[in-house]
Amino acid sequence: MKKLILILAIFSTFVFAQSSVEVLGTSTLHDWKMASESLEVSMAQENGKFTKLDVSMIIETLKSGDSGLDDNAYEAMKIDKYSTISFSLLEQKDDGSIVALFKVLDKEQKKVLKPDLIEDGHIAGSFKVKMTTFGIEPPSFLFGAMSAGNEITIKYDIRKP
């Protein structure tokens, strides 16, 4: 019985220590969400402050549950040419805000984020960004009758592996 409890405790640590990213958007038809739990994370902290935070994700790991939506998103993000999205810490300020380089396609943007949660080995929050900032034309279908909104929200829950 003790072995079973130990195995379950170890397993639950791995299950609940997983990082995730959600992309939330709107369209003329309905709101949509794509999510991925397949992130590569490299994280280090010193005295509660991040000294390293690099997160990358293969674009095709973002899934909505609707293959048509996924295909439109992948086409808009030009996955035949660009396969990853990355986020790299530049600095963490004394007020807790994070200055990072966010790279999508071949475009980079410096972002200042104010995380909702910063703990040892864990950071979570959200931020808004426009697709066109990164050269992504918001996907449309039915000959443009329906289209995605330009602004999306990126929700992140990043944990030390």
Q: Rounded distance, CA 65 to CA 156, Å?
A: 19
For 121-160, how does the pLDDT look when each residue is reduced to its tens digit (9 = 90+)? 999 999 999 999 988 888 777 666 678 889 999 999 999 9
Q: Could you tell me the residue ranges of all domains in the chain?
A: 19-159
| Amino acid, single-letter form, for residue 66 | D
The answer on pLDDT for 8 being more than 50 is no
Residue 79 Rama label (left phi>0; alpha psi -120 to 50; beta): alpha
CA atoms of 93 and 39, how far apart (whole Å): 24
CATH number of 19-159: 2.40.128.110
Report d(CA 36, CA 123) in Å as an integer.
16
7 pLDDT exceeds 60? Answer: no
pLDDT at 121: 95
Cα 22 to Cα 32, 68, 141, distances in angstroms: 10, 18, 22
Q: What percent of the chain has pLDDT above 70? A: 86
pTM here?
A: 0.82
**Tell me, what's the pLDDT at 4?**
38
Q: What mean pLDDT, rounded, does the chain reach?
A: 86
